[in-house]
Chain A
Amino acid sequence: MRIVPFYRKKKSYSDDKLLAEYLKIQDLDILGELYARYMHLVYGVCLKYFKNREKSQDAVIQIFEKLMVEIKRHEIRNFKSWLFVVTKNHCLMELRKAKPVKTILIASDEELAGFMEKEPELHPIDREQEEINEKALNDCIEKLKEEQKKCIRLFYFENKSYREISVALEIEEKKVKSFIQNAKRNLKICLER
């Protein structure tokens, strides 16, 4: 049995394991390791809301500090989704402080609990091949509006990137993304019937 030093092991531990380890021995370095895995995502989301690098960097640190407190208060099943909610809430709260416009928090504590239970459910079209009911899906796609239909087909069936689709259809990438989102929404409604 080779003795692998803990800091090496850390890299290959799952989130759950790391979290449990942290709760057990309270070593901040472990929490740091866990946070490091998702820090880029936290930063990215903050950038999206604040549109400011300085502010976003401060937020990343503040959220880490928040983690330390909150981690002990909740039972966290899925660290990543929980971190996402915490990040979003933090950003929204900060924005609310700056502009006293009504900003609704993404989730209350109870909803947070729900989030921590599982990953959000995937859209049928995003699921693994085997799960998809192909016929139903295709029928619904047919029912889509022209642009939405095209985007879906190109993206999912021909595996084209946004960039390629944008070039092919001569529309902005942003528009491509929004068509795809809308299409998915419509497909979901259709499939649930």
Chain B
Amino acid sequence: MTHKKRHIKKEDFQRYLENQMTEAERNTFERELQKHPFEAEALEGMQQISPIELKNDLKELKTKLKPVKRKINYRFWAAAATFLLLISAGVMWFQLKDRSPVPEVAQSKSIQQQEEKVDSKMQAAEESLPETSAKENTEIRETAQPEQILLNTEKIKSPESESQINVSSDKKMLKAEKGGLGEQNPQIPDDEVIAGKAISLGDSTPLQGAAIVERGVKNRNESDLKGNSQLKVSATSDSSFVASYAGMENTEFYSDSDSAIVVGVEPKQVAMEEAVSARNVKGKSATGRNVSSVTKVKPDAEAQPRTGMDKFQKYIEENAILPEDYDDKRVVVKVKLKINSEGEITEIQNTNNVDSTLFKRAKDLIKQGPEWVPEFKNGENIESETDLKIVFKK
């Protein structure tokens, strides 16, 4: 095979264009080009420019291609990295969005051991809820998002030592600590420490910068990133304390020794004067006051099954079986439920006029299903109606 001999080399192009070939060579080259359309078209293009330009261009291209190879490798990894970054940024954004302080439920957050005490206080407060809640509710509703901070404070008797202060109210433990360390520091009168944790009610995120200030004295402490704050107070003082947070009304409170105090700091509103005036009332009712304002915000809710609409739908889906003697594959039964303020279903109406057997089945299904919770509006349970769709399938 003589192909190899006639194979066109790169240099041939250069020589042809620079007229360095003999006529015979030219003919060979030209004939060869007849067989190779790629080369033929390439030559046509090359003849557009001068041979020197061609030479230089090709040299340049050679060097240009080297970084391209590197660049392409980087590009892939850069793309992958950017993609990952975007995903994580998106995820983070979603997380942050959900955590914005919008109080939907007034759940008080308290340190474990105090929970019972707090609960009892709250119950007392709830009873005093009705008359005040109406007023405050209207006021609060008008604002966009009443922010409420829950300050859990607790007085711990501790010596002035560097030991870690344990935020617990175990009397025995505290006394022991006090006793033991008292030996070491007999001279120094025991200080007490008001330990507080400031959180936002809506989602229990810690709030930084909530201050506890001892009234009348220059004594102040602000909560850290975790919401913790500690105010040292001399054991002999009996002044009140003020809890404050930027943009909110200050709330005054007293600390009872060995007990937990739940304090809410409320948003600044002119209309809140009435609520705030309760500040001056001493003792537990003051704290109760605040607790009540903390707990009053329960959102309106429509009537629904106790276990939730989703579970109820599932229950229906599993049990709504169409008997064989029906022609259709599925039949839709529409009903209207009447629910009283106790959550009892007083009536079930057949709204799309299905036959009575199927309707009876639907009714039974509902009655045998989970109990219902009445509609809650403006602070109380009320009667309501609800439409349901039950699909019977074979």
Contact = CB atoms under 8 A, between A and B. Distances in A.
Interface string B51-92: 001000110111011101100110000000000000000000
A81 B38 contact: yes
B28 A64 contact: no
Contacts of A81: 38
A151 to B, nearest CB: 12
A40 to B, nearest CB: 5
Interface stretch (A7-15, A93-101, A131-139, A153-161): A153-161
A29 B69 contact: yes
Interface in B127-170: none
B37 interface: yes
Contacts of A142: none
A84 B38 CA distance: 6
Nearest to B13: A40
A29 B72 CA distance: 12
Interface string B238-249: 000000000000
Given A44-B45, A47-B46, A48-B45, A28 B72 contact: yes
B43 to A, nearest CB: 6
B220 interface: no
Contacts of B37: 84, 120
Nearest to A81: B38
A56 to B, nearest CB: 8
A32 B147 CA distance: 64
Contact of B57 (A43, A48, A156): A43
Given A41-B38, A43-B57, A49-B45, A163 B26 contact: yes
Contacts of A162: 26, 30
Nearest to A35: B65
Interface string B13-25: 1000000000110
B48 A47 contact: yes
A164 B23 contact: yes
Interface string B260-293: 0000000000000000000000000000000000
A184 B33 CA distance: 14
Contact of A44 (B30, B31, B41, B64): B41
A36 B49 contact: no
Q: Chain B: interface secondary structure? A: helix
A185 interface: no
A175 interface: no
Contacts of A76: none
A30 B98 CA distance: 52
A65 B48 contact: no
Given A48-B44, A49-B45, A68-B72, A161 B38 contact: no
Contacts of A65: 68, 72
A92 to B, nearest CB: 12
Interface in A49-65: 49, 51, 53, 56-57, 60-61, 64-65
A43 B42 contact: yes
Given A39-B58, A160-B23, A160-B27, A48 B49 contact: no
Nearest to B23: A161
A172 interface: no
Contacts of A123: 34
Given A81-B38, A126-B31, A46 B69 contact: no
Contacts of B49: 47, 53
22 contacts: A28-B72, A38-B38, A39-B58, A39-B62, A40-B10, A40-B58, A41-B39, A43-B42, A44-B43, A45-B41, A46-B45, A47-B45, A48-B41, A48-B44, A53-B49, A61-B61, A61-B65, A122-B35, A128-B2, A159-B27, A161-B26, A161-B30
Given A44-B45, A84-B38, 9 more contacts: A28-B72, A39-B62, A44-B42, A45-B45, A47-B48, A57-B60, A61-B68, A160-B23, A160-B27
